[in-house]
Amino acid sequence: MFPVRQSAVPIDEGRSALSGFVLSGLLLSFLGAILPSWGYHVTTDFRTVGNYFLCVNLGLLLSVRTAQLLAPRRGIKFVLLIACGMVSAAFLWLAYSPPPAPDWWRFLGLLVIGLGAGLLNSAVFLAITPLYEHDRAATVNLAGTLFGTGCLITALLVAGTYYVYTVPAILILFATIAGFFALMFARSKFSAAPALIQIPVREILRDFTNPGAVLFALLLFFQFGNEWSVAGWLPLFLIRRLGISPEASLILLGLYFAALLLGRIGAQVLMKRTKHSSLLMSSVVSAMLGSIILASTTNRFGALMGVLFVGLGFAAIYPLVVEKISGRFPYYHPGFYNGIFSLAFTGGLLAPATLGYLADIWGIQAIFIGPLLGTIVVFLLSLLILLEAKLTGASEVRRAGA
């Protein structure tokens, strides 16, 4: 719990704002979970699936400027309510436009979901800014835990209702959840939106001349892409590769999110007791091993072990990198698209879409080539980051001695 200070968000306001991360996780993990319900496990139209991910990404990009215009003028609560209303309406639209309805109907619905998710994230990060400034580590850890919980709920919810409800009924259920959050936000009090963080152009350009910043951005680019490539394509891959049921594939997707969630909680403990370089390297090796197992497995046990290795391997990388970034680049804020790091997060979201186009050419077996190669790149970048940090530290020591 955060102590209250004059500039801090009230406890109930902070709690309401942080709960938005649960809805954010639900929205961003929705597409990977719903694809089997739309029948894409029995087709080879992977290009259309790639277009689905691209539509969500375009919506997220559109939300950046939209939030900058709305939040200062209308306030945080207005943006939160607009976001929840948009995604609830989009789910209802998708409920009445499943295949064989024209693809563009679903393109439009997913674009609106991406826009709503982006607006939600922007408003939530604005609302918790005082909490973040007071205790960055606690705020980021709690936000990540709630986001992971939302992703896990999505997978288990779709898995549990797959053979019980029709596809429209499942989507109406998602719309109802978004409506519940809208009601909760409407009953909460939110302070006026703080001024958006504006970084001078010279500071942004300076990042591109800093080897450490460039390496961090590249690592985030590939790592974020790795995580969401698996989250978006795991059910379809397992169904077509192993012939398991859609329900079982969604349960394994839930296991992947659970491994990420519990792994990140465990990483916070290990970071205090284990050398960070060792933890980072072991995480990368675990992710590489899991990717290899998933790409080559022919049975459920192999899929289970691959999912666990990948999830636990990915879990520690992001918090370790964010810790280094926040220490060396004090103005970095994970809720804003600032400087070079905007390229990392924006580009990483394109990975699942790109895999759809590759799978359309080479088949479903190409799905885990991307995360495997991306994990190898993360491993190499990790080595370069550690080397750069060591050289920078040695240089600073020499200058201090002089």
| Boundary (domain end) residue, out of 196, 226, 256 | 196
Q: What is the pLDDT of residue 334?
A: 47
In a domain, 400, yes or no: no
d(CA 165, CA 170): 6
Residues 177 and 257 in one domain: no
Residues 203 and 187 in one domain: no
- The CATH number covering residue 107 comes to 1.20.1250.20
Tell me the pTM: 0.88
The DSSP symbol for 8 reads: S
Residues 2 and 128 in one domain: yes
Residues 213 and 299 in one domain: yes
Nearest 5°: phi and psi at 299?
Answer: -145, 170
Residues 4 and 46 in one domain: yes
CA angle 181–14–347, rounded 5-degree value: 70
Give the closest residue to 191 by CA, choosing from 10, 400, 393.
10
Q: Which stretches of the chain drop beneath a pLDDT of 70? A: 1-15, 133, 135-137, 191-210, 321-347, 389, 392-402
Q: What is the pLDDT of residue 198?
A: 53
Q: What is the pLDDT of residue 398?
A: 47
Q: The dihedral of CA 158, 161, 167, 168: what is its sign?
A: negative
Q: What is the pLDDT of residue 173?
A: 96
In a domain, 334, yes or no: yes
d(CA 345, CA 192): 27
In a domain, 402, yes or no: no
In a domain, 96, yes or no: yes
Q: What is the pLDDT of residue 7?
A: 43
Residues 185 and 214 in one domain: no
Give the closest residue to 316 by CA, choosing from 356, 274, 374, 363.
274
Report how many domains make up the chain.
Answer: 2
Task: Give the distance from CA 323 to its chain's centroid.
Answer: 17
In a domain, 314, yes or no: yes
| Boundary (domain end) residue, out of 196, 217, 238 | 196
| Boundary (domain end) residue, out of 148, 166, 196 | 196
**Position 25, amino acid:** G
Residues 100 and 145 in one domain: yes
Task: Give the distance from CA 381 to its chain's centroid.
Answer: 20
Residues 248 and 361 in one domain: yes
Q: What is the pLDDT of residue 138?
A: 73
d(CA 387, CA 157): 44
Residues 137 and 179 in one domain: yes
Residues 145 and 41 in one domain: yes
Residues 279 and 218 in one domain: yes
First-last CA distance in the chain: 45
In a domain, 401, yes or no: no
- Domain of 237? 199-395
In a domain, 288, yes or no: yes
Residues 216 and 185 in one domain: no
Q: Over the stretch 75-121, which tens digit does the pLDDT of each residue have?
A: 888 999 999 999 999 999 999 998 889 999 999 999 999 999 989 98
In a domain, 321, yes or no: yes
* Percent above pLDDT 70 for the chain: 80
Q: What is the pLDDT of residue 148?
A: 92
